Amino acid sequence: MTATPAIPAAAPKEIPLRVNDDMTVEVALAVMAGARVEYLTVCDGDDESTGSVSLVRLADLRESAAYTDRIQLRDLLDGGVLAPSH
């Protein structure tokens, strides 16, 4: 009996994580670490996508002088906290 070569399974498509815009930066970083993702899709109260944030951007913000533990993701999308560096 000849062994049949294994056929690699197709890689699953990565579904972007959707989070509410009232999530804090600290919680978003924890979610990203747990899910091992580089980006989050940010949604408003109607679950409509309003933008996305990257792990790099959130980590940069956390290390900046502008950071407080009350900053929400919507604050980043409104451009009021820290201009995107990437």
CATH number for 41:
3.10.580.10
The answer to whether position 85 is within a domain reads no
The answer to whether position 54 is within a domain reads yes
Domain span holding position 28? 18-77
The answer to whether position 51 is within a domain reads yes
Query: What are 79's two structure tokens?
Result: 């451009």
Mean pLDDT across the chain, nearest whole number? 85
The answer to whether position 3 is within a domain reads no
The structure tokens 């980590």 sit at: 59
Q: What is the mean pLDDT of residues 59-80?
A: 91
The answer to whether position 2 is within a domain reads no
The answer to whether position 50 is within a domain reads yes
Domain count, the chain: 1
Phi, psi of 51 (to 5 degrees): 155, -165
The answer to whether position 1 is within a domain reads no
> How many Cα atoms are found within 13 Å in the side-chain-facing hemisphere of 44?
7
Q: What is the pLDDT of residue 68?
A: 94
Residue among 21, 28, 62 at smallest CA distance from 43: 21
Q: What letter does residue 37 receive in the DSSP assignment?
A: -
> Each residue of 3-45: pLDDT tens digit?
555 555 555 556 789 999 999 999 999 999 999 999 999 999 9
